[in-house]
């Protein structure tokens, strides 16, 4: 049994110039503005549209609530900030349960 051209099979691909030339040659006879042939259409479900809206809202909202941070900083500086560990733990558990229910 002889195995020939084995190195050809495992040679790193470095023919990006050839591919781009082939793509350019294939596209040269058609206009780029007519990339979608036959009038294909895509419609998003209501859930997908809502998800997109939530994403945009999250991107446009600030990462930090400056007013809340300012109040807490002031309380810490004055020594009047009180942390209720039970309330904090309850809120953390509520968030975990909400995530759990979302994924099941």
The owner of tokens 């609530």 is: 65
**Alpha-carbon distances of 65 from 72, 87, 96, rounded to whole Å:** 11, 20, 22
Q: Which helix (H) or strand (E) holds 97?
A: helix 85-103
pLDDT on residue 3: 56
Point out the least confidently predicted range of 2-6, 61-65, 94-98: 2-6
Phi, psi of 85 (to 5 degrees): -65, -35
Asked if 81 and 72 count as a contact pair (C-beta separation under 8 A), the reply is yes
Confidence check: pLDDT of 19 > 70: no
pLDDT on residue 64: 82
- Coil, helix or strand at residue 81: coil
Tell me the average pLDDT across 52-56: 92
Asked if 44 and 50 count as a contact pair (C-beta separation under 8 A), the reply is no
**75-101 pLDDT, tens digit each:** 999 999 999 999 999 999 999 999 888
pLDDT on residue 25: 54
């Amino acid at each position: 049994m002889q195995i020939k051209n084995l190195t050809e099979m495992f040679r790193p691909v470095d023919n990006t110039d050839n591919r781009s030339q082939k793509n350019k040659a294939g596209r040269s006879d058609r206009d780029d503005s007519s990339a979608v042939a036959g009038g294909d259409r895509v419609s998003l479900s209501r859930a997908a549209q809502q998800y997109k809206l939530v994403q945009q809202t999250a991107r446009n909202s600030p990462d930090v609530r400056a007013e809340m941070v300012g109040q807490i900083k002031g309380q810490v500086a004055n020594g009047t900030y009180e942390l209720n560990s039970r309330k904090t733990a309850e809120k953390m558990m509520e968030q975990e349960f909400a995530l759990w229910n979302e994924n099941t």
